[in-house]
Structure 1
């Protein structure tokens, strides 16, 4: 008699959503330099003293693909380093940028993190890029 009640409250057995693969990218930093290893031993570096612009690019490929990228650009605008969300060391770099870069726009980071589509968010400009 209570069979209908148990069916009503029974949890549906659904397959859990697939998680995105961990990024092979590793980012490290010290007082002088930001280094990004792409996981295939190609290393790009950006001196803190040359850092002029931080943007976040988002795409509509989430949630199962990486859909957020940090782009750090130098003063000449000719060199940039791209760091995907989920890279090892990404959070530590974010904390370092918040501490080191006066005027770092945390609200723009929040907006970027919640963006479902293709967009560019200006996080920190230090100087005009030539």
Structure 2
């Protein structure tokens, strides 16, 4: 199993990697948690202190389909919180990430924004592996 396939198996819903519209999701945070609100259908959250890795997955679907996905991994919770790159609230989230993670890799983030193929970009922490 390839690394991208492994990531895809960790997502709660496969649609998060394909047909999900950024307009259908809102990302929010408070001092203790990061959460996504799928506009009335469900909410999911991770405690900031449990986040072990932040990465972006890209694909070749753009500009017709979503091609950039934020992913926040918690190995302790065995969960990945993910949402499209243009989700409501992302601009505020970027400011919060800069504040919380001094070693956040903004170069990798910029590289991810220019990617037009399937790839994963580690922005902070560690990537989950199939062995964990």
TM bin, normalised by shorter chain, reads: 0.7 to 0.9
1:109 and 2:109 matched: yes
Unaligned runs of 5+ in 2: 1-20
User: Within 2, Cα distance between the matches of 1:118 and 1:127?
Assistant: 16
1:56 and 2:50 matched: no
Report matched runs for 1:1-130 at 5 Å.
22-76=22-76, 78-125=78-125, 130=132
The structure that is helix-richer by fraction is: 2
| Native 8 Å contact 2:53 2:125 kept in 1 | yes
- Compared CA separation, residues 127 and 101, structure 1 to 2 (3 A): farther
The normalised TM-score by structure 1 is: 0.77
User: Within 2, Cα distance between the matches of 1:56 and 1:127?
Assistant: 10
| Native 8 Å contact 2:22 2:83 kept in 1 | no
User: Within 1, Cα distance between the matches of 2:50 and 2:108?
Assistant: 22
Larger Rg, first or second structure (1 or 2): 1
Paired residue secondary structure (2:108): helix
The normalised TM-score by structure 2 is: 0.76
- Structural RMSD (CA): 2.0
| Native 8 Å contact 2:45 2:81 kept in 1 | yes
Ranges of 4+ aligned residues in structure 1 off by more than 3 Å? 126-130
| Native 8 Å contact 1:23 1:84 kept in 2 | no
- Compared CA separation, residues 119 and 77, structure 1 to 2 (3 A): farther
